[in-house]
Amino acid sequence: MVDSATDPWTPLRFLVGTWIGESTGQSGKGLGERTAEFALGDRFLIMKNRVAYAPQEKNPKGEVHEDWSLFSHDHARKTIVLREFHGEGFVNQYTLQESGARHPGKEFEPYVAGRWTRVHGER
């Protein structure tokens, strides 16, 4: 049993599993799949993402976007750090922050638009 009062992963445990859904962004509208699982003795959370964008007005050639996200707990700062590794060759880094009125709770900025549904995993 995990003690949610002392577990730094409490805000992210809901991510574990397989998700399918829609994504909306600069590349247009796409369909994708994400998987998330803990690794290395539950010290890291790894999420793999793949979204296919069919040819559309906003993106006439279409494309496939892949990225891996690595979440880790920074003991010194007492927060979760997210590093995104993108197939295009760039890396983004974020820290978990208290969110504002737009999205109550906690979030990583920037907010990514889309709708995703869990198809398999923990609850």
Closest CA to 30 of 122, 123, 113: 113
Does residue 68 contact residue 49 with C-beta atoms inside 8 Å?
yes
- Give the tens place of pLDDT for each residue, 35-71: 999 999 999 999 999 999 999 888 899 999 999 999 9
* 26 against 107, higher pLDDT: 26
Residue 110: other Cβ atoms inside 10 A: 8
Give me the pLDDT at residue 58, please. Answer: 81
Q: How many helices (H) and strands (E) does the chain have?
A: 0, 9
- Using the predicted structure, report yes or no on whether residue 123 has a pLDDT greater than 50: no
The residue written with tokens 């993106």 in the block is 59
Which residues have a Cβ under 8 Å from the Cβ of 65 and sit 6 or more positions away?
27, 30, 32, 49, 50, 51, 53, 86, 87, 88
The pLDDT, as a whole number, for residue 113 is: 45
pLDDT value at residue 106? 47
pLDDT at 42: 93
**Residues 6 or more apart whose Cβ sits within 8 Å of residue 11:** 80, 96, 105, 106
